[in-house]
Amino acid sequence: MPRLVVIGGSSISTPGLALALRGLKNVDELELVLHGRSKEKLETVARACQIALRDTKATVSWHHDLDTALRNAELVLIQIRVGGLQGRHFDESFPRRLGLLGEETLGAGGFSNALRTLPIILELAQTIARVSPNARVITLTNPAGLVLQALARYSEIQSIAICDIPVQLTQLVYRLLDAIPGSLDVAYYGANHIGWITSVRERKDGVERLPDVLDRLDLAPGYPISSEWSRALGVLPGSNLRYYYHLEKWLRGPDEETRAAELIEVQDTMLCRYAALTPESTLSDLKEIVALRRPHWYQEIVGPVLSASLSGEPERLIIQTVNNDTDPRLPHYQAVEIPASVSSRGVIPESPAPLPPDCRSLLEQNAAYESFAVEAIVERDRSKALRALVTNPFVGTVEKARAVLDAVWS
């Protein structure tokens, strides 16, 4: 029975993972093991997961001790949030007081998040390497690119990271083309939250459909990037690039409510409702609670990656992996987001699609930032941290970088 260990298993979203596992091939007899710091919260969430998997062959257990949880792990999913939602609130709010983007993965907030997260991630990596050195590790912890690079450079474990944005962008392509599922070959390249669809070809005849996608963007009112700009680029940007291409539109004042503040209320409500579940509660009862957070990423990318990782048949998925020799113009330890063949035998990334020069420039600037940032945090080097933040596409000046460090560096 494959053993999947979820570090950060007490998250209110974890029952969404259990629901996503239902019906997936290769996980019908999975042993789902949850680890969390809060015993009470962990037990509450775990019992909700038991309801999610009640009529399957999968089992659910939970442990407060990490060594016990990790023993004999085949897969490890890391989904911790260091500092909790209060930490996210800080990351989203303090940059606003400096006139900067307030976001948990990009810019000053992403650096602050990494400053808390990377030391804990590397401690976890040591434990995983000691207890279950052969486990395959998948990270769902932000800022994902920095986390993956830190693991590659400063730990003994090998990992991939996952994000739902490329999947959602691919889904948008299918909707705009009214295409049959699986009928398109979609090329994507970038880094975490900085990526682009560069080609959309019909599988049956190889016809390029990306121009049609770009021409129809006005039919996608929820897409947050200017259709004029996307057509000018000739590629389809990921949704988080709205913070770069339309920064002024997304700047928020220091008194505006953060997303974290909203989620704190949602978390309290969900935990109370999970705790009220009984042995007679139905799957519908649980789904109603999970829908308050709508953790769609489990269905869209986490479940497929877990299933593929246990299968001998490769599946093409967009994931984040360590560059190695995939892109010779980037550092070998850089995290790149790219389609890859995923199976029980490992991960084989495709050759990266060419990017327009302005997109390429942004990718390389972000790579320089991430390299400086990881070194600064691990080595506790303020000078490198200053260089990282000046290089960061969402900070950009010495004065602003110094103000960020004054707020977060101790």
Q: What is the CATH number of the domain that holds 84?
A: 3.40.50.720
Q: What is the mean pLDDT of residues 255-269?
A: 95
In a domain, 151, yes or no: yes
Q: What is the mean pLDDT of residues 222-250?
A: 97
In a domain, 41, yes or no: yes
Identify the pLDDT of residue 305: 96
In a domain, 53, yes or no: yes
Q: What is the mean pLDDT of residues 169-195?
A: 97
Q: Is the pLDDT of residue 214 over 80?
A: yes
Identify the pLDDT of residue 364: 98
Identify the pLDDT of residue 251: 94
Using pLDDT thresholds of 50, 70 and 90, give the confidence band for residue 28: low
Q: Is the pLDDT of residue 25 over 90?
A: no
CA distance 165 to 391: 24
In a domain, 274, yes or no: yes
Identify the pLDDT of residue 70: 98
27 near 308, Cβ under 8 Å?
Answer: no
346: region left, alpha or beta (phi > 0 left; psi from -120 to 50 alpha):
left
Identify the pLDDT of residue 288: 97
Number of domains forming the structure of the chain: 1
In a domain, 114, yes or no: yes
Which tokens in the block code for residue 238?
């990921």
Phi/psi for 340 (5° steps) reads -150, 155
Q: What is the mean pLDDT of residues 367-373?
A: 98
Which tokens in the block code for residue 330?
């980037």
Write out pLDDT tens, residues 330-346.
999 999 999 999 999 99
In a domain, 353, yes or no: no
146 near 374, Cβ under 8 Å?
Answer: yes
Nearest to 362 by CA among 210, 240, 200: 240
Q: What is the mean pLDDT of residues 121-135?
A: 97
Query: Which residues are 130's β-sheet partners?
Result: none
Identify the pLDDT of residue 279: 87
Q: What is the mean pLDDT of residues 77-93?
A: 97
Q: Is the pLDDT of residue 166 over 90?
A: yes
Q: Give the range of the structural domain holding residue 156, as residue numbers without chain letter.
A: 3-161+256-292
Place of tokens 């038991």: 50
CA distance 339 to 321: 10
Identify the pLDDT of residue 24: 83
Identify the pLDDT of residue 410: 86
26 near 305, Cβ under 8 Å?
Answer: no
Average pLDDT score over the chain:
96
In a domain, 91, yes or no: yes
Identify the pLDDT of residue 23: 76
Exposed, middle or buried, 406 (CB in 10 Å: 0-12/13-18/19+)? exposed
Exposed, middle or buried, 57 (CB in 10 Å: 0-12/13-18/19+)? exposed
In a domain, 408, yes or no: no
Write out pLDDT tens, residues 50-68.
999 998 999 999 999 999 9
